[in-house]
């Protein structure tokens, strides 16, 4: 009886997503939620970034054994961001960031980055979502100026003016 050896390669699809994934036009003092998901369990850290005016963290969370061990919220968002873990995710991880009392200065491109660290290989893996543009209006027919080299490809040019 002859046996043949076969190797099987399994490709795991690691994905990240964010909802909603489009441009939102909101008013001053309103609230919005950004939901971020990954199919990979046990992140080392997660960031909610602001991307138009340099890449800044709005929120940074550090995890150890599935628990948040360190949380940093940018000073401009102190008292205006609530974070809720999504317990409905069977595999992977999900968070909802609720931004409240929005100001015109909060207009930006927001996206999530999930960080994973492999101790054996001493390497870091970063998975980022496409993001969402939030525009906070104070007046009707307000013009928004964005530097086009920092704008993500998902930008729709309707009602936006590029430098």
Mean pLDDT by 10 residues, the chain (163 residues): 40 62 87 90 89 88 86 94 80 88 94 86 86 84 50 41 38
pLDDT at 45: 92
Q: Residue 117 belongs to what domain range?
A: 16-154
Please give the structure tokens belonging to residue 154.
């998902």
pLDDT at 88: 59
pLDDT at 30: 95
Q: What is the DSSP letter of 158?
A: T
Please give the structure tokens belonging to residue 162.
């590029």
What CATH number is given to the structural domain containing 67? 2.60.40.10
Residue 73 lies in a domain: yes
Q: How far is CA 46 from CA 60, 82, 151, in A?
A: 6, 15, 22
The count of structural domains within the chain is 1
Question: Which strand ranges, in their side-by-side order, compose the sheet holding 32-38?
Answer: 16-19, 32-38, 93-99, 81-85
pLDDT at 8: 37
pLDDT at 154: 38
Residue 54 lies in a domain: yes
Please give the structure tokens belonging to residue 62.
């550090």
Residue 129 lies in a domain: yes
Residue 127 lies in a domain: yes
Residue 59 lies in a domain: yes
Q: Among 54, 51, 38, which residue's Cα sits nearest to residue 115?
A: 38
pLDDT at 61: 93
* CA torsion through residues 71, 119, 96, 156, sign: positive
Q: How far is CA 68 from CA 58, 62, 76, 88, 159, in A?
A: 16, 6, 21, 18, 39
Residue 6 lies in a domain: no
Residue 2 lies in a domain: no
Which long-range contacts link 145-153 to residues 24+ away (Cβ below 8 Å)? 146/52, 147/52, 150/51, 150/52, 150/53, 151/52, 151/109, 152/51, 152/109, 152/111
Residue 34 lies in a domain: yes
Question: What's the whole-model pTM score?
Answer: 0.73
pLDDT at 50: 93
């Amino acid at each position: 009886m002859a046996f043949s050896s076969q190797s099987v390669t399994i490709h795991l699809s690691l994905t990240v997503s964010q909802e909603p994934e489009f441009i939102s036009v909101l008013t001053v003092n309103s609230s919005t939620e950004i939901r971020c998901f990954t199919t990979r369990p046990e992140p080392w850290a997660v960031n909610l970034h602001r991307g138009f005016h340099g890449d800044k963290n709005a929120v940074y969370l550090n995890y150890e054994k599935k628990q948040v061990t360190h949380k940093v919220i940018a000073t401009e968002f102190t008292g205006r961001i609530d974070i809720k873990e999504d317990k409905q995710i069977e595999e992977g991880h999900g968070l909802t960031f609720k931004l409240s009392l929005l100001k015109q200065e909060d207009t930006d491109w927001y996206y999530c980055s999930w960080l994973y660290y492999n101790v054996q290989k001493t390497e870091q893996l970063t998975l980022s979502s496409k993001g969402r543009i939030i525009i906070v209006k104070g007046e009707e027919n307000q013009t928004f100026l964005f530097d086009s080299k920092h704008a993500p490809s998902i930008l729709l040019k309707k009602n936006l003016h590029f430098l």
